[in-house]
Structure 1
Amino acid sequence: MQTHTVTTPFGRRSMTLGMIASQVTAQTAPEGATVHKWHVFRDIKEARMALGATDRALAILDALLSFHPETAFYGDSALIVWPSNEQLIGRANGMSPATLRRHLANLVDCGLVVRRDSPNGKRYARKGQGGEIEQAYGFDLSPIVARAVEFKELAEAVRAEKKAYKVVKERLTICRRDIAKMIETGIEEGVPGNWGTVHVEYQAIISRLPRTAPRQVLEEVAAELDDLWTQIRDVLESFVKSQNLNANESQTERHIQNSNTESKTESERGLGIKREASGSAGETDNLRSLPKRELPLGIVLDACPNLLWLVKDGGGIRNWRDFLATTDLARPVLGISPSAWEDAKVAMGEQQAAITLAAIYQRTDQIKSPGGYLRNLTERAKEGKFSTWPMIMALLRAKLDAAKAVGAGVTEAEGELGAAQRLDRTQKRLEVSDNLRKSIDKWDHKA
């Protein structure tokens, strides 16, 4: 049996109050307590960060536990092991002596083991006549029993925190995906709203996310995104309910705006989505006479074919998302500053600003300062005096006139039939209806 409990370290190592506290804790194991050493070691690994233990220190603790022959530890049993440094290095994957000493100190500081140093600093056990250990010097593993309940609670808390972190990360990912796609849907389906402003608000929220963020920060950002998600969804649902959907494709129009400017849902006011200039109460008489719907993408592309030059790999523009991405490429080509572009999207809406940019790009040889021109149109949009319809109508009129001039000026060598076919193909590609042609003629006369 042991005759004396050593409390001070050998050599130059100083004594600390933390060591005394660890030794006191090691002696307070519940009477009759029994633990499975590897189960407790698993809890210690889970709670490693909370305990302040290093991964190398846990490798050494694993080796120390393996030197004790019993799997079950009892509160009233001798739990001291006395392996040499060479033996520990062999079971700790061959780490260097200096590394071993440093991480042994870490185990002691964390209160996972207690030093029981001999008078000369060596580790050994003195046995009696019957082979019973009378005194042992080495590392006391009593904290494994005394703090087993604490280790288990810490491990459960760490596991709960990891689960909560994973849940909020999943919630954040789904919310970001939903918001991005709902904004895209609102733009492509022509839902009335200043979607540029909404997108700027969304970007402002997610820009606060650092590369590695604690769960509390993620919870705050997720809560803001949830609120934005709810408002966008309410706007989309209100728009869907306000439409009389028709299954007949020939009668379906995807870009209808409600011309009743006084009817605004609460969700639209809460989100800050405002109707475009073409539908506001402060429109001029000319703007009031324009169609109360969005410009179809096909007509915009026919009026602004130069934009297709920027499409990579010769691909086309199949939807509004492709159109918006292509106008983002055109902006630096025109020398328009990011601030001017952002102001235009806020004032006009992202889709209307993109159409305006495409029209400017089509007339780049006629506009000396695209940036200044866009800022001027932005100011007009803020006053409710701007619409993209006249710009597109003017470009279509110019294209039709050019096509007719080409058809009239074809030489006899080329043949009148070939010219007629080219003119016919051009007019079919434009797909201009009688009403649209009348609108073009009307705006042409007004200009």
Structure 2
Amino acid sequence: MVAGWSAMVRGTEIASFRRVTPAILASARLAMANDIPESTKAEVAILLKKAAPILGIDGSTYHIMDILIGLSRADDWAGTNRPIVAISNAKLAEYTGRSERQVTRCIRRLVEAGVIAYRDSPTGRRFVYRDKDGDISKGYGLDFTPARVRLHELKTLVEDFQARLNSEQEARRIVSRTSRAIVDACAAYPEHAEAWHSELQGLKELGLDKEGEAEALEAMHARIILAVTEEYVPHKMSGEGDISVTSIIYTTPQNSLECKKKWARSNERELKTKFSGRTAAGTSTERKSGAVQPESHPPVRKKSAGTVDEIQSQVLASVSVGLVRSACRQACEMVGTEIRSWPELAAAASTMRLMIGLSEAGWLDGTARVGRFAAAAILATVLEKAARSPDQITSPGGYFRAMIDRAVEGNLHLEKSLFGLADGVIKQTGERPA
């Protein structure tokens, strides 16, 4: 058994000094596969970033994966080529500001997640030799072939994950909406308030998931509506003892000229006939003079400088949702939604913060300081910059916090960054984004 294991390790080019696990061997077997789906670097990169929460890739591990993808060549992802990245752990530690031991753990996590595979040389060094056409003739390092082989599997995982997120979000909306409706019903019918409130608290304490809680609350709300409306349904009256009466309907047509003479004039015409035009003029003058008079109410006081609303208004003064959508195309693709309103952008922030390795506490701190919409626009900008130039932004989470600080100080010009990103889209595609 041990001999077979050692033979498998040697066949998959894993160095003997590594502690091999079944997950590492599974990635090595994927790297040896010959049936590789046709894909591009951009397609696999976006798919891996969408699947990162599913695979448990976040923080420093996500950052290192992003750098490795950026260092690979686009031609190595085409056809039957194998994208191999040869970079030392020391250089990765320098790029990310982490220790070499932490970089080693992050790479191991990527291998066990089935994203990359070890392709070790006998000496443990990582290097790539290319022929005159630029193709890899011999290479040792970190191989992204497992991600290419799992292309269709990862697509299915991402679709299921997105559907589950949408279902949970809709369930949360139903829970919030139905709970408010039940509370309103308790206020409208005090005689039932205690029983309904107790039932509502009992449902909350059952520990159901969001879908089950939403279904239970909807059923409770339907029972409340039925119980309330039944009290006001009029009883059907019996027809016993009614007198049969024949209706008399006049169907004789009348002369239209005679009817026109008998028609009563409207109040407006009577007033115009009764009163002279002088009265109308007087009324008009009175209204005009009333409009010209200054208001006696004191002016509404504005919010003091430095409030969250004022900071958010200042940051988004020259920023629209269309500008964010046009400038942050890669961010929209990674999130998997077409952002058309500020609430949609804010709803996608939970996914975007995972993609840049930002903690939930950091995101909540940013929203508390500059507002939810301004923080979401800043987050989309950071994600777009990190996706385009991963080597320049070594810590996207710190970059986000720095932009929040500048926004609070009044020194952030977000529109300039977005226009710069939009110009990059124009230069890359040759056409102006919609």
- TM-score where L is the length of structure 1: 0.46
- TM-score where L is the length of structure 2: 0.48
Q: Considering only CA atoms, is the larger Rg found in Structure 1 or Structure 2? A: 1
RCO higher in 1 or 2 (8 Å CA, sep ≥ 6)? 2
